[in-house]
Structure 1
Amino acid sequence: MIIPGYQARFGDDVDVAALTVDGRPVVRKPGFWAEYWRQLLLPDEDDLLTEVWGDTGDDLGDYLGPHRWPVLTVDLRDGAQLAVVFRNLDYDAGVDFLVLPGGGRDAIEIAALDGHQTGPGLSWPELQGIAARQADPVRRAETLLLLAPAFGDEAADTPQAVALFAEAMRTLGATGDVEKVAAAAVSDEVDFWGHLRWQDGAPDCDYAPRNPDSVFALPEASRRLVTALLAP
């Protein structure tokens, strides 16, 4: 799979095109969503996640398999996509969230979840808008749950957000007290950066690529393009 500009991050030591594969079968595996959220969003809610989703594997890597990097894509506007790459490297594993502008232009990383995380990459209105534009209820639900670890916005702490997450979880087969899990997802119980204030399209976080004052700040042209493509 070719992701323009992504190979440059790894140099010649890693053949990214050979490793990246369609990740859609991964999300269909029983227990995937519980393990995905446990590792990347709610690490302290293991029992609750297992209760609503069922038994999980020992680690997210159980779902990915060896020697491959599953990639999941979500349609944006104007032919662009957002790609979630499970960077399945033994010495540098993580999950990268990339905006793919299309037209052969290089991928733009908006968040990465690993030992040196960057983000958040999405505001709550952006996450809602991206999910709402998907073609059917299942894809809308998958999009909401898939991109949840990349967002961090205090504006999500509302009953409406809890209801939206709960509905998505039930659509994908969760049972029981899904509202409790959904409430945790929009609270400051989440991992990595919590939920922050956004202003003028940027999160108040020193390691967010979309924050122009961050040490990881994207070039201005890239930030503007990302904002346009992710707009609700």
Structure 2
Amino acid sequence: MPLAAGHRLHVVYRTFADDNGTDYLLHHPDWDRAELLARDDGHFMGPGLSWPEPVAAADNALPGGSTTDPNTRLLLLLPAFGDDEVPDDAVGRLVVALRARTGVEAPEPLASAVLEDQGAPGPARWTTAGHGFSLNDGGYSFRNPANRFAMPADRLSRVATALAP
């Protein structure tokens, strides 16, 4: 999924016999490596995205990737999201995506439940205080500098810059 300034979000489905899951990566051609934002498998890691980040990526209308449809893009990125400050219009935005791309008969209660529980990581608090770029307090997040497995500060900064809405 293309982002501004040549960045790309990749949703990688692993289907190996003993290693299936989904990886959410961010990359730029000038970087030496892709940054793992979240992983959805038996050992979930995340959240990797605050609510404004997948919405901005879904709605940016940049060509490229497997789809340019904003509803599909949002649903693809949703498992990597976790945010305790979801705006009031988030349910409506998710309902539109669910109606457009699923056969769910009652998308409103599903959207509300998804945004309330937010999957494996649950909601995380996002802040820029003290760093100048977005970080969270998720116990399993690569974007939480308190975690021993978090990205170093320079990589956290470039990730936040690339994902800025």
TM-score w.r.t. length of structure 2:
0.87
**2:149 paired with 1:219:** no
Paired residue type of 1:191 = G
| Identity level (%) | 36
Contact 2:2-2:9 at 8 Å conserved across structures: yes
**2:130 paired with 1:197:** no
| Count of residues in Structure 1 that have an aligned counterpart in Structure 2 | 157
Q: For residues 97 and 21 of structure 2, what CA distance do their matches in structure 1 show?
A: 25
Contact 2:20-2:41 at 8 Å conserved across structures: yes
SS at match of 2:5: coil
Q: For residues 140 and 103 of structure 2, what CA distance do their matches in structure 1 show?
A: 33
- CA apart distance, 1:206: 2.2
RMSD over aligned Cα atoms: 1.9
Greater share of helix residues, 1 or 2?
1
Any residues of structure 2 matched to 1:69-218 within 5 Å, and which? Answer: 74-103=1-30, 105-135=32-62, 139-156=69-86, 158-174=87-103, 176-188=105-117, 190-200=118-128, 201-218=134-151
Paired residue type of 2:23 = D
Q: Judging changes above 3 Å, is the alpha-carbon distance between structure 1 residues 155 and 104 closer, same or farther for their aligned structure 2 residues?
A: closer
Where in structure 1 are there 5+ consecutive unaligned residues?
1-73
Contact 1:99-1:109 at 8 Å conserved across structures: yes
Deviations 1:66-111 (A, max 9, x none): xxxxxxxx11111110001111111121110000112363111011
Deviations 1:92-149 (A, max 9, x none): 2111000011236311101111122211000011122111203499611111101000
Paired residue type of 1:92 = D
Paired residue type of 1:196 = A
Contact 2:58-2:70 at 8 Å conserved across structures: yes
TM-score w.r.t. length of structure 1:
0.63
The one of the two structures with greater contact order (alpha-carbon pairs below 8 A, sep at least 6) is 2
Q: Which runs of 4+ in 1 moved over 4 A?
A: 135-138
